[in-house]
Structure 1
Amino acid sequence: MKEAMLAAPLGDDVFGEDPTVNALEEKVAALLAMEAALFVPSGTMGNLICVLNHSRMRGSEVLVGHLSHIHLWEQGGVSQLGGVHPRTLKNLPDGTFDLREMRQLVRGENVHWPVTSLVCIENTHNMVGGKVLPLTWLDQLGSACRELGLPIHMDGARLFNAAAALQVPASRIVRDCASVSVCLSKGLGAPIGSVVAGSKDFIYGAKRLRKVLGGGMRQSGVLAAAGIYALDHVVPTLPRDHAYVQDIARAITQCGGVIVRCDPSGAHTNILVLECDPEVVTPMRICQRMAEVTDEEEAALGERVIVRMLSLTDTAIRLVVHCDLTHDDIQSLIKKFQYVIKEFESQSGR
């Protein structure tokens, strides 16, 4: 990937003259069966651009899942910067939401109300453990939104993980979406960047919004080259990452579920959510311990292993497998996790 970055032909992308950026945008547009695409610095900016582009009239309202990344993890940018009102739908355990509830929340014509302009979805869904939205539900959502005259934006930060899990082209997943944002720096391993895709007119508007948000970059082909490499060489390896998560989940389940629990069947992709009882041990403490190595541990395992995880809620931990991990790395992680679980069990008297 670094060699591709060093060898990339460059130009000024603000003027549309960087050949590597242009190649990346054309590649993503083709993969998603969209008319055009736009390279942006981050997924947060990509989602913000798409929401604002669909909601040009102030007083617009966007329907989003209550556990969605746009709602929880992007600083409320759609309202803070765009004057767009978010209205939440309850995300179900599989990352979907009730389409009857969605219909009920769509605003009619009333001077007191904001105007519903957009429906946002997320695939894979981070906060429910990287689950893949079912194709049948996506088809039903598309039909409902066409009937309602509402566009759909997909936060597809991990869209290619979803495509790998479903064994379908990414274009099949987004065929009813007016826009999509895909991340190059999540499971795909690029150092930076996302790509927004949609119609030619939509991308023209997106380019104007990218500029005013400070996202116009000059010789950004050095970054786009990493994205092209990731699409060509990392995307085909995503099923391996998903299999690694299953290995970890099964190993933790075999420990008996006293300290931490997980559901292998609910881990669709490269994310594993672990549940724990905070009265026994908190997620934060488990994360801290997994990032430490004691002398006793090194002597028992014969190696020094540091595992970095995220305390997601008061009861949950998120573990994500990335493209640089090997089979040996996963086996070392499993051995450490089993050691730490036994250590906490001994301390708690369980």
Structure 2
Amino acid sequence: MSEPTASHPAEERVQKFMAEFEAQWRIAAPAFEDRNPDEPRRAFDLWRDLMVETTREHFTDDTGVNLAGSFSRPSVYGPDVEKFVRSEQVDDVFYVLTQTTLPLKSFHEYMLREQAGQWRIAAIADHYGDPTEPFEDPEHMRKRVAECGPDAPFDEMPEAQAQLDERRMFTDRVVTRPRDGETDEARVSRIGTLRTGSGVLSVLDFGYDNDDARPLARTVSPGTYVVERVTAFGRNAAVRVLFSDRDPVAWHPASIPGSGHVIGVDAGCVCIVDYPAYASVSRRAKAAAFDRFIAAESPTAIEISLGAEEVGIAVDSGYGDGSYPVYWGVDAEGMIVQLVVDFMMLVDQDDDGVLTTL
């Protein structure tokens, strides 16, 4: 770590970790460069053993960091690729911030806690902006909110999705998976509440650190709403927000202004949130919430606090990464009564590409 010189034991811990990680990386690098085709796993086994040693030396017992998960060139951590930015203590947590010197500049924020009288690393968060700043530029956020409203027009359902039955999706039943014939029970359960102070909602990949969240064009009344999920085959098959106890009679794409209604997911986690509240949280707070999500029991569904009042819902997205449609359910009077994210687990597709709910 570059200047200033470490003056706190937590800073010293980060320095020692970075030096050791880089040294271990130099031991493993030749094995990856000259891999023996007869022993394809040897390099990875070596890296795993080295990282087990490094983790044991510098991290808390309950850390969720998996240093052996991948090997990259150049080294991800180390004094050659990181420079010190600042450090601070907040309650019982000490934060050390570094900035990478790689072509794609980013920040590493080390979070340390005391364990058995020593400061040890509990987590490392990667950020593409200052972790203490709001997640999105306030003026940018306000412009996006101005594009939304309670009377935003509904888009037409794509022909291939028009036969989906989201009411049936949220019905307890026995389902048979077409791809392998396996049978299971689909079960509906309540998982928490969504609290929105603005009525401007966003459905997004909660594990992706960017400032590119988009609100849904159509807004709802501010309030607190029940959230349910349907599970099958040990996974979340769909999640919905209930804005009313009335039944939906029609479905429309829950589109983003100027865009579509399909959410791309790269971290296996979908979150439904109050958009202004989400845009206002710090990257640090978001990373801490995502760590809670990672640590929760699978199939995961947890509430995410956003500021003083708002609460979002984060869930495992079906089979993981992918693209998932979002729909508004409306009653006979055309009023929004549900918001559904379908993870496309319990659907069948015919030869013409038409989707139906199992």
TM-score range, shorter chain: under 0.3
TM-score by length of 1: 0.27
TM-score by length of 2: 0.27
Bigger proportion of residues as strand: 2
User: In terms of Rg, which structure is larger?
Assistant: 2
